[in-house]
């Protein structure tokens, strides 16, 4: 092969490679731009949807628990809410008012074991890791105390001698 013939071949190879590279670069940049546009529009569509259709508020209801006088001072009831949340209702006083009662989550905030009211020790006790809580649900012993955890509290009321507890109708875990 002659030298001038070899140069012609190399030149033609470089000429044909340039349009392929340019086409590939163009395709990649178009895809990147398209992906960016789709992501951007999706983000703003999500914000618009949240503004136009806000999440429904947590539906709550008053749940009848018991005739107030049927719960002796110092005793407790273990219940489950309609959404399946364990709850402990405990009576502390003898006035027959809301202040006599406390309704707490029956689920230990440490790792989710069930707590029980111990009237002889005036505490809620979790047997899994010897966690304990006072009558208001504040941790006083064990891992929950080290982590400053409390038992979630349910609002309650006594009306016409009947005890009611306000509960969520949505199953959202261990929270009251």
Q: Which residue is at the shortest CB distance from ligand FES?
A: 131
What is the DSSP track for 101-128? EEEEESB-TTT-PBPEEETTTTEEEETT
**Pairing of β 101-105 and β 116-118:** unpaired
User: Between residues 48 and 140, which has the closer beta carbon with respect to ligand FES?
Assistant: 140
User: Between residues 71 and 132, which has the closer beta carbon with respect to ligand FES?
Assistant: 132
User: Between residues 103 and 108, which has the closer beta carbon with respect to ligand FES?
Assistant: 108
Q: Which residues lie near ligand FES (CB under 6 A)?
A: 108, 110-111, 113, 126, 128-129, 131, 142-144
State in angstroms the smallest separation of the CB of 135 from ligand FES. Answer: 17
User: Between residues 24 and 129, which has the closer beta carbon with respect to ligand FES?
Assistant: 129
State in angstroms the smallest separation of the CB of 128 from ligand FES. Answer: 4
**What is the chain's Cα-based Rg?**
33
State in angstroms the smallest separation of the CB of 113 from ligand FES. Answer: 4
Instruction: Report whether 76 contacts 92 (CB < 8 A).
Output: no
State in angstroms the smallest separation of the CB of 163 from ligand FES. Answer: 27
Q: Which two tokens stand for residue 132?
A: 């304990």
User: Between residues 71 and 87, which has the closer beta carbon with respect to ligand FES?
Assistant: 87
| Buried/exposed code over 20-47 (b: 16+ C-beta within 10 A; e: otherwise) | eeeeeeeeeeeeeeeeeeeeeeeeeeee
State in angstroms the smallest separation of the CB of 101 from ligand FES. Answer: 23
């Amino acid at each position: 092969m002659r030298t001038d013939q070899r140069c012609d071949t190399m030149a033609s190879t470089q000429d044909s490679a340039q349009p392929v590279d340019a086409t590939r670069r163009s395709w990649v940049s178009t895809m990147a731009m398209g992906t960016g546009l789709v992501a951007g529009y999706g983000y703003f569509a999500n914000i618009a949807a949240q503004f136009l259709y806000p999440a429904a508020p947590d539906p709550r209801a008053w749940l009848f628990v018991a005739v107030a006088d049927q719960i002796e001072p110092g005793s407790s009831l273990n219940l489950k809410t309609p959404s399946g949340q364990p709850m402990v209702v405990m009576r502390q006083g003898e006035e027959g008012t809301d202040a006599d009662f406390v309704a707490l989550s029956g689920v230990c905030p440490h790792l989710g074991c069930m707590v029980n009211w111990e009237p002889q020790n005036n505490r809620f006790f979790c047997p899994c890791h010897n966690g304990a809580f006072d009558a208001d649900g504040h941790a006083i012993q064990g891992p929950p105390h080290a982590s400053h955890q409390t038992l979630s509290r349910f609002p309650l009321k006594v009306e016409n001698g009947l005890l009611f507890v306000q509960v969520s109708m949505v199953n959202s875990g261990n929270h009251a």
